[in-house]
Amino acid sequence: MSATATSLPDATWKTEEVRVAGHPVRLRTSGRGEPLLLLHHDIGTPERLPFYDALAQHFTVHLPSHPGYDGSERPAWMRSVRDMAVLYQLLIAERGWETPSLLGLGFGGWMAAEMASMAPRGFRRLILVNAMGVKPARGEILDQALVSYIDYARAGFEDQSAFDRLFGADPPTPQLEQWDLNREMTFRIAWKPYMYNPTLPHLLSGVSTPALVVWGRRNRVVPLECGEAYARALPGARLAVMDGAGHCVEVEQPEALMRLVLDFVAGG
Amino acid sequence: MHLMYFTEQPMSAYPAEEGRKRGATALMFSNKHFDPVAGSRLYNEYLEHYRLAEESGFDGIMLNEHHNAPFCMQAKCNVFASILAAMTKRVKIVLLGNPLPLADNPVRLAEELAMIDMVSRGRLVSGFVRGGGQEQLATGVNPAFNRERFEEAHELIVRAWTQEGPFRWEGTHYQHRVVNPWAVPLQKPHPRIWIPGVLSKETIIWAAKQRYPYIALSTAIDATKKIWELYDSVAAEAGYTGGPENRGYLQRCHVAETEEKAMANARQFMWMQGEFTGLAHPVWSSPSGYFSPSYRKAFVEYAVGRGANPRAAEFEDQIASQQIIAGTPRTVIPKLRRLLEETRPSILGFWCADGFVSNADTQTCIKLLGQEVLPAVREMGKTLGLWSPFEANAPISIAYAKGPTPVAA
């Protein structure tokens, strides 16, 4: 990958399967320190990213594959993002993690926000990065049903060369099939309303968990106004806008994002 | 044989150049290009064609529906079925069909169909479809649950038709506290159900399990034979022998006074790629979760322009494979004989014209079919033993295979 990858210290990840509510959840773990649950995008996630490795230098990072994504078993019964959020609450209970921090990327940010609303004292910190989940008042959340797998993934990048480095300029067919499966699972749990929960902002107003909201100023998937809405809804949240970045800031600017996270942790 | 007339009800009166510029004419092609003045004229022309088809000796009129696209103006087949129920006297009204997953209230569909059956005095054949991929998006319905919704809505509708109400329905996708539609079908136990399809094996298997006739929509002869192999094998497992009464086929067939004119008009079948889905955008026509998982690789490659449309073929290939038949009555009859001999359907739909074929040429086609082609096809059907479900008095479904045969109440 990019030069950023080699500049970061190496991290060891282990993969295991955890049964939660009778369903096998694939969980990858690395690092040391306080537990942090890292929730990935709707297009799935590579097994490793420099940003994940960097997080693992400061936290014990737990990165589940959302059930039904990236080849993990599909829970056929699941119907909503809140279902997924509850499943992760059960995962936390099963593993006995004490007040973990939550970091959600995009679609995973929506899950993290739902989780915070369910357990207002259950989390140390909440970090939402370009999160879906709230309805934009003026703009729209990009409808992936209308664009190809590649175009949708590319829309997440302000810097197209960052996409090329991660997925290849012309991603191979197995990647397309995986994106299709991930998209199908997204449709199963987030079809209507598409990519938001109208009750979420109301519920978030009761969440006092220290929160950082990070947005790429050039986000073409979820408009910046959604970040502003999150920052308004969450008491005491801080909004950090990253210039020159899109929806996948963790790939485009991992070091800058990491600095924001560390500043937030030091301040909190 | 049961011989049906069909038109896709094309909305040719739109600026084709705008469509080509957009690259796709379904779903997102703006309806600012729809001209209601032309639409009004065309709807009424199509009604005249239906009337002429009945006069010319067709046994049935086949209707379908699509949404947000110029290739098919009919957005609700129950509307035209209602008109035909009162306007025609003899023909079966064959809906192929209502897209069940698009319905949020299948009980209402059951009511509408019962009303059409009563008004037509028991002439309804109520086919059901999944709806095209882009139709899921046009109606905001989740493509990932398309097949589940299809099967559950079907079960609910048949129950609403056959089980005395009130009863309660607590399904996966549909919940109704009270199912008790006042209108029930005239035909008992319920109108015949036929299932059309193009590609999905799952639909063929499902239809065969129900013992519903399957109507192959303009597939090539070899592909059609494979459909019947699959259907018959499922039928054998289900305990009956598949045959002509279970087989339908929709044939694109344009007839004119001369070969040249027929061939020129037949090219209009390629209008907007000659597909049911119009000038399709691959992403919209195959949303994730909609298509058969066994075709996933082919569809994802098509969706990014890496593979050919799994459904498309060139005009010359379709002429060679007889997916399109065109000519004078004298030349099309042997081709139809080949179709009947090789694939043995008892239900045959004639899709006469598409695109810009003129009103006059369409009427000529219907008349020539009625005068010269249909009688010849009927004779072939008798010789080949292609008895339609009506002629064979076939059970309406596997559930009624040993029970009452269908009658008008």
Whether B142 sits inside 8 A of A192 (CB atoms) is: yes
Q: Is A194 on the interface with B (CB under 8 A)?
A: no
* Over residues B205-232, mean pLDDT: 96
Whether B300 sits inside 8 A of A150 (CB atoms) is: no
Q: Is A77 on the interface with B (CB under 8 A)?
A: no
Interface mutation target, options B68, B104, B304, chain A, most CBs of A under 10 Å: B304
Sorted by sequence, the CB contacts under 8 Å of residue B281 that are 6+ apart come out as: B23, B24, B26, B27, B28, B134
- Peptide bond preceding A193 in cis form (omega within 30 of 0): yes
Fill in the DSSP letter of residue B256: -
Amino acid at A164: D
Which of A22-36, A50-64, B63-77, B359-373 bottoms out in mean pLDDT, i.e. has the lowest? B63-77
In the three-class reduction of DSSP (H, G, I as helix; E, B as strand; rest coil), residue A232 is classed as helix
Which one, of B140, B132, B172, lies nearest residue B155 by Cα?
B172
Residue linked to tokens 């969450």? A234
Which one, of B363, B379, B372, lies nearest residue B331 by Cα?
B372
B264-297 b/e with 16+ CB inside 10 Å = b? ebbbbbbbbbbbbbbbbbbbbbbbbbbbeeeebe
Tell me, what's the pLDDT at B405?
56
Residue linked to tokens 């009956």? B240
Query: Higher-confidence residue: A2 or B77?
Result: B77
Considering only CB atoms, B303 lies closest to which of A149, A184, A186, namely: A149
Angle at B399 between CA B157 and CA B202, to 5 degrees: 70
Q: pLDDT tens across B315-350, in order?
A: 999 999 999 999 999 999 999 999 999 999 999 999
Considering only CB atoms, A146 lies closest to which of B144, B283, B299, namely: B283
Q: How far is B110 from chain A (nearest CA, A)?
A: 26
Chain B residues within 8 angstroms (CB to CB) of chain A: 28, 137, 140, 142-145, 282-284, 287-289, 296-297, 299-301, 303-304, 306
* Chain A residue numbers touching B284 (CB-CB < 8 A): 145-146
Burial of A5 (0-12, 13-18, 19+ CB in 10 A): middle
Helix, strand, coil percentages in chain B from 3-state DSSP, rounded to 5: 50, 15, 35
Q: For residue A193, what are the domain limits?
A: 3-267
Q: How far is B176 from chain A (nearest CA, A)?
A: 19
For residues A112 and A131, the answer to whether their CB atoms sit within 8 Å is yes
- Structural domains in chain A (count): 1
Q: pLDDT tens across A85-127, in order?
A: 999 999 999 999 999 999 999 999 999 999 999 998 899 999 9
Whether B288 sits inside 8 A of A184 (CB atoms) is: yes
Tell me, what's the pLDDT at A248?
98
Which one, of A242, A239, A241, lies nearest residue A253 by Cα?
A242
Quick one: tokens of B371? 């005068």
Q: How far is B146 from chain A (nearest CA, A)?
A: 11
Q: pLDDT tens across A204-240, in order?
A: 999 999 999 999 999 999 999 999 999 999 998 999 9
Interface mutation target, options B283, B288, B299, chain A, most CBs of A under 10 Å: B288
Whether A187 sits inside 8 A of B296 (CB atoms) is: no
Confidence of residue A9 (pLDDT cuts 50, 70, 90): low
Q: How far is B62 from chain A (nearest CA, A)?
A: 31
* Over residues B386-396, mean pLDDT: 97
Burial of A84 (0-12, 13-18, 19+ CB in 10 A): buried
pLDDT of residue A263 exceeding 90 = yes
Tell me, what's the pLDDT at B312?
67
Q: Which ipTM was obtained for this model?
A: 0.93
B117-129 b/e with 16+ CB inside 10 Å = b? bbbbebbbbbbbb
Which of A44-48, B74-78, B126-130, B295-299 bottoms out in mean pLDDT, i.e. has the lowest? B295-299
Q: What is the CATH number of domain B2-402?
A: 3.20.20.30
Q: Residue B354: how many CB atoms within 10 A of its CB?
A: 25
Q: Is A172 on the interface with B (CB under 8 A)?
A: no
- Peptide bond preceding B166 in cis form (omega within 30 of 0): yes
Considering only CB atoms, B297 lies closest to which of A150, A173, A179, namely: A173
Whether B288 sits inside 8 A of A191 (CB atoms) is: no
* Chain B residue numbers touching A181 (CB-CB < 8 A): 288, 296
Whether B301 sits inside 8 A of A149 (CB atoms) is: no
Q: Rounded to an integer, what is the distance from CA B241 to the centroid of its chain?
A: 24
Burial of B201 (0-12, 13-18, 19+ CB in 10 A): middle
* Chain A residue numbers touching B140 (CB-CB < 8 A): 192
* Chain B residue numbers touching A150 (CB-CB < 8 A): 304
Which one, of A250, A24, A36, lies nearest residue A123 by Cα?
A36
pLDDT of residue B20 exceeding 90 = no
Domain with residue A167: its CATH number is 3.40.50.1820
Tell me, what's the pLDDT at A268?
53
CA distance B67 to B75: 5
A60 has which bridge partners?
A31, A35
Q: pLDDT tens across A143-188, in order?
A: 999 999 999 999 999 999 999 999 999 999 999 999 999 999 999 9
Given phi > 0 = left and psi -120 to 50 = alpha, else beta, which region is A106? Answer: left
Considering only CB atoms, A188 lies closest to which of B144, B287, B296, namely: B144
Whether A187 sits inside 8 A of B283 (CB atoms) is: no
Give the whole-number percent of chain B exceeding pLDDT 90: 80
Which CA distances in Å does B139 have to A218, B63, B99, B135? 31, 20, 11, 6
Confidence of residue B407 (pLDDT cuts 50, 70, 90): low
Which one, of A197, A182, A190, A35, lies nearest residue A114 by Cα?
A197
* Chain B residue numbers touching A145 (CB-CB < 8 A): 137, 143, 283-284, 287-288
Which CA distances in Å does B367 have to B195, B259, B329? 28, 16, 11
CA distance B37 to B264: 27
CA distance B406 to B399: 12
Angle at B90 between CA B84 and CA B93, to 5 degrees: 45
Computed from CA positions of residues A227, A232, A233, A239, in that sequence, does the dihedral angle turn out positive or negative? Answer: positive
Considering only CB atoms, A148 lies closest to which of B142, B283, B289, namely: B283
CA distance A42 to A55: 20
Whether B303 sits inside 8 A of A183 (CB atoms) is: no
Residue A3: phi, psi to the nearest 5?
-60, -25
Taking one residue from A and the other from B, the number of pairs with CB-CB distance under 8 angstroms is 59
Residues 86-145 of chain A with CB under 8 A from chain B are: 145
CA distance A250 to A41: 11
Interface mutation target, options B29, B283, B284, chain A, most CBs of A under 10 Å: B283
Which CA distances in Å does A215 have to A141, A223, A243, B22, B321? 14, 9, 9, 33, 56
Residue A200: phi, psi to the nearest 5?
-60, -45
Mean pLDDT of chain B: 93
Q: pLDDT tens across A26-79, in order?
A: 999 999 999 999 999 999 999 999 999 999 999 999 999 999 999 999 999 999
Whether B283 sits inside 8 A of A147 (CB atoms) is: yes
CA distance A34 to B33: 60
* Minimum Cα–Cα distance from A148: chain B residue: B283
Confidence of residue A3 (pLDDT cuts 50, 70, 90): very low
* Chain A residue numbers touching B289 (CB-CB < 8 A): 183-184, 187-188
Tell me, what's the pLDDT at B19?
81
Residue B390: phi, psi to the nearest 5?
-70, -45
Whether A146 sits inside 8 A of B299 (CB atoms) is: no
CA distance B72 to B68: 9
For residues A30 and A12, the answer to whether their CB atoms sit within 8 Å is yes
Interface mutation target, options A187, A188, A192, A195, chain B, most CBs of B under 10 Å: A187
* Over residues B113-131, mean pLDDT: 98
* Chain B residue numbers touching A149 (CB-CB < 8 A): 300, 303-304
* Minimum Cα–Cα distance from A146: chain B residue: B284
Domain boundaries, chain B: 2-402
* Over residues B28-47, mean pLDDT: 95
Residue linked to tokens 């695109």? B355
Tell me, what's the pLDDT at A6?
40
Q: pLDDT tens across B260-303, in order?
A: 999 999 999 988 765 555 677 888 988 999 988 888 888 888 88
